[in-house]
Structure 1
Amino acid sequence: MKNCERIANVALAGLTLAPLVMKVDPNLNVILTACLSVYVGCYRSVKPTPPTETMSNEHAMRFPFVGSAMLLSLFLLFKFLSKDLVNAVLTCYFFVLGIIALAATVLPAIKRYLPKHWNEDLIVWRFPYFRSLEIEFTRSQVVAAIPGTFFCAWYASKKHWLANNILGLSFCIQGIEMLSLGSFKTGAILLAGLFVYDIFWVFFTPVMVSVAKSFDAPIKLLFPTADSARPFSMLGLGDIVIPGIFVALALRFDVSRGKESQYFKSAFFGYAVGVILTIIVMNWFQAAQPALLYIVPSVIGFLAAHCLWNGDVKQLMEFDESKSSASSQETTDAKSGKEE
């Protein structure tokens, strides 16, 4: 599993840098970058304990409405305020988030070269005038944050597409790694809601496309093209992270049953098919497309077909990571008690 993740990491890095030195077809770049990001994020999410942030059914139902409110708010901000002012504030915000995301992304690679106590000993820092607020971190995290700080400074000053993409990929990998849907029921609710959300805001209003073009921050990946009228193709991070956390859940379901990559393969293949369909339709109509319109049915469809074929519908629908986590913790505690 770790070898597959390392190979995917190298391939993703090479694909990200490739347009600097050679001509890369943007359509192929979109497909490979999106799929490799999901692949890396999924394998990084497989840990002794499930991801820390778990979504409930209620959260999944509300998510499209909260997303719509935020999207509309951004649209109004760009409409009535200076675009440069809004983007300046957003740059400061993403400067901090970028350092955190980059540090967390590279931390596993550098931890092995640092002293063990640097990785384990926590440092607690309290805010000077708000003593109740505190931040916990390790020396290893500080070391990982140093190159991230210089990189984010380069992004803020140059806004180069490569810096944008590396930050965007870090957000994608961290999102898939850290977020958990908890169950496939919650995942189906979330994907169904965002399926409608994406169609509405792209096809029936100018809001989504307008915000994507105005928002000068790493919330989208940019793929250089040879067309001077349209120098970049774009893919929103939500089209990677949202389906990605569902695919990651399928991988962790496989691992919990001791059958690595069984349903992950079908869900991941469905994601790849959905991205390819998005590119085909986009080029056919020469218009922006709601990627989730094609990705959501593909991911759920391929996974559901595979599950029905194997007769594992009940097991899949009853899978709940929060209960699995509690059982694992009880087992660990019991073992610790016996050892003592």
Structure 2
Amino acid sequence: MDTLFTFFQGDSPALQYIGSWSASLWDNRDMYQMQLHLLLASVFPIYIGAHAALRRPPSALAPKKQPSTDNEDDELDLEPAIEGLRPSDAIMFPVLASITLGGLYLLIKWLKDPSLLNKIMTWYFSTLGVFGVGKLAGDSLHVISTIIFPSVWSDGKQLYHVKPDFQIQVTGESSRSQPLRTITDKKNPLPSFFSSIPFAESLNTILWSTRALLKNHWIFRGYLHGLLNTKLRVTFHDVAGLTLGLAAIIAYNTSGKAWWLTNLMGFGFCYGAFQIMSPTTFWTGSLVLMGLFIYDIVMVFYTPMMVTVATTLDVPIKLVFPGPKRGGMLGLGDVVLPGIMMALALRFDLYLHYARKHLKQGETARYVEATGLWGERFWTSGSKEKNVADAARFPKTYFKASVVGYVIGMLTTLVVLNYFNHAQPALLYLVPGVLISLWGTAWVRGEIQLMWGYTEDGSLNDDRKEGKEELTKEEVEQRADEREKRRSKEHAHHVFLFSLSDPKHDLPKAKLDGEKEE
């Protein structure tokens, strides 16, 4: 490097400038590596959390239920309860945040030694972290399992469908008009060239059994008289994820709070927040962000509270990055708050995708699950045939625009931070970056009114197209009460009961309809 710098020290001013800039870049490489780490770590939970938060848009019909002999299992509510924001939250968020921050600041000043407060808050967030990290770990294991055991894959010429009920792989299209598929000679459930490896029959059996373990679900029933009455669908990934979450929290509290464990807990909190929070509308989300934009400026520039609390409390409510001097940190609010708007943008993209399909086909299309298909997308990236992974391949114009705006805002934050060498309110730059990118994209595309009118409060749903009347809130509550009464009758003679069982399934037919052996 010294020889290279000597070359740039010639008589040319341009070469001298490049040389001095390169030397500065090399001397401060640790700082820039830390800042790149910060940038990637802030975008990562937003990207995966936004995709995990995808759900059926109002422009798509609900998918048809598969016939089952266990009607009770069909009634299980798989979608998490979504906390929708309201316009009044634009005022309440900054007010509550100010009260909380001010209370913590005064408590720190009064205690002088914050070790007790750190312990209490650490155990509180650790309890929550078990579920946040558990959910993140469980979904990560699901992604890995879809890569190892995809339901469909392509070799660039043909599309292969894995049929676990019959432990075969088939090719060809299947429809009502042409229910014809060809059974291949592949004996294991693996994709690509792995599927052609001649494993022993016993190993193939283990592979199919492992795939079933990872793909199937169980029914968890919990009853404690007068206190608990619940029924949930549970997968192997859920159990393994919760176990890993518990192990991570124990390691965090016994290993000196390693920075990467702190960040893992932060990722878990962010990931969970994107799936249970929604701005409901773009204009509500914009109002909330603008209110917090002002709050962040006041608390960082005009009071010592934000910096004092962030640097004093050693609790997993921030992302931390090792580096020169004291390293760097980023509050989870700087990820979650812009992130919920970016997640809304991705769901808006999905809404537009189905709306355009409706205009093109003349009828409303049924929703196809768009989450958890990372393995299928990877293995069918070169396929021209339609497959289940196409549900996740919709145009993501607004989401990509918001990511660009967020990255620009984060880069601006880092540049200003280095220039002034003073803590910066990240929302000062992130909020304009995200909002300008979203509303600017809508303005350029002529979709301002469409974006303004989009809402997730349920008013855009139109179930009458299937001959069903839209349920009122009272009717939904009445049906929930009826299910609760039915469950209570099931446990009429129980004091407590906890069980994990297989759901009831229709037995597969002895023959695979419409398929012939090659």
**Do structure 1's residue 218 and structure 2's residue 218 form an aligned pair?**
no
State how far apart, in whole Å, the 1-side matches of 2:331 and 2:114 are: 20
SS at structure 1 position matched to 2:88: helix
State how far apart, in whole Å, the 1-side matches of 2:55 and 2:466 are: 15
Matches within 5 A, 1:105-184: 105-110=136-141, 115=213, 119-124=217-222, 126=224, 131-132=226-227, 137-140=232-235, 141-158=238-255, 159-184=257-282
Any conservation in 1 of the 2:129–2:249 contact (CA below 8 Å)? yes
**Do structure 1's residue 98 and structure 2's residue 129 form an aligned pair?**
yes
Q: 1:294 offset after TM fit, Å?
A: 0.4
State how far apart, in whole Å, the 2-side matches of 1:263 and 1:139 are: 34
State how far apart, in whole Å, the 1-side matches of 2:422 and 2:212 are: 49
Q: 1:275 offset after TM fit, Å?
A: 0.5
Q: Deviations over 1:244-272 (max 9, x none)?
A: 00011111111101062111111111111
Matches within 5 A, 1:24-43: 25-43=33-51
State how far apart, in whole Å, the 2-side matches of 1:331 and 1:236 are: 45
- Give the counterpart letter for 2:426 in structure 1: A
Query: For residue 339 of structure 2, what is the aligned residue in structure 1?
Result: 244
- Is 104-113 or 54-63 further displaced after alignment? 104-113
State how far apart, in whole Å, the 2-side matches of 1:87 and 1:318 are: 44
State how far apart, in whole Å, the 2-side matches of 1:58 and 1:136 are: 35
Distance 1:268 1:146, change over 3 A: same
Q: Kindly name which structure, 1 or 2, has the bigger radius of gyration based on alpha carbons.
A: 2
Query: For residue 107 of structure 2, what is the aligned residue in structure 1?
Result: 77
State how far apart, in whole Å, the 2-side matches of 1:189 and 1:84 are: 37
Percent pairwise identity: 33
Any conservation in 2 of the 1:251–1:260 contact (CA below 8 Å)? no
Query: For residue 235 of structure 1, what is the aligned residue in structure 2?
Result: 330
Distance 1:226 1:326, change over 3 A: same
SS at structure 2 position matched to 1:301: helix
Any conservation in 1 of the 2:136–2:271 contact (CA below 8 Å)? yes
Any conservation in 2 of the 1:118–1:138 contact (CA below 8 Å)? no
Q: Deviations over 1:217-276 (max 9, x none)?
A: 11111111133xx2x200001000000000111111111010621111111111110001
5+ residue gaps in structure 1?
1-21, 336-340
- Give the counterpart letter for 1:86 in structure 2: L
**Do structure 1's residue 185 and structure 2's residue 316 form an aligned pair?**
no
Q: 1:188 offset after TM fit, Å?
A: 0.8
Any conservation in 1 of the 2:122–2:316 contact (CA below 8 Å)? no
State how far apart, in whole Å, the 2-side matches of 1:243 and 1:324 are: 24
Q: 1:200 offset after TM fit, Å?
A: 0.5
SS at structure 2 position matched to 1:121: strand
State how far apart, in whole Å, the 1-side matches of 2:269 and 2:285 are: 20
Query: For residue 365 of structure 2, what is the aligned residue in structure 1?
Result: none
Any conservation in 1 of the 2:282–2:451 contact (CA below 8 Å)? yes
**Do structure 1's residue 67 and structure 2's residue 165 form an aligned pair?**
no
**Do structure 1's residue 294 and structure 2's residue 429 form an aligned pair?**
yes
- Is 289-298 or 80-89 further displaced after alignment? 80-89
Q: Which has the higher helix share?
A: 1
Any conservation in 2 of the 1:123–1:138 contact (CA below 8 Å)? no
Q: 1:108 offset after TM fit, Å?
A: 2.7
State how far apart, in whole Å, the 2-side matches of 1:91 and 1:235 are: 18
SS at structure 2 position matched to 1:182: coil
Distance 1:334 1:114, change over 3 A: farther
Distance 1:267 1:332, change over 3 A: farther
Q: Deviations over 1:13-67 (max 9, x none)?
A: xxxxxxxxx9671111111211222111111111237862211212333111111
State how far apart, in whole Å, the 2-side matches of 1:184 and 1:86 are: 38
| Bigger relative CO (Cα 8 Å, ≥ 6 apart) | 2
SS at structure 2 position matched to 1:57: coil
Return the match for 1:47 from 52, 55, 65. 55
Q: 1:155 offset after TM fit, Å?
A: 0.4
State how far apart, in whole Å, the 2-side matches of 1:204 and 1:134 are: 50
**Do structure 1's residue 303 and structure 2's residue 438 form an aligned pair?**
yes
5+ residue gaps in structure 2?
1-28, 58-78, 146-210, 354-393, 470-518
Distance 1:299 1:124, change over 3 A: same
Q: 1:334 offset after TM fit, Å?
A: 4.0
Q: 1:187 offset after TM fit, Å?
A: 0.4
SS at structure 2 position matched to 1:322: coil
Any conservation in 2 of the 1:270–1:298 contact (CA below 8 Å)? yes
Q: 1:279 offset after TM fit, Å?
A: 0.4
Task: Count residues in correspondence.
Answer: 307
Distance 1:134 1:161, change over 3 A: farther
RMSD: 2.6
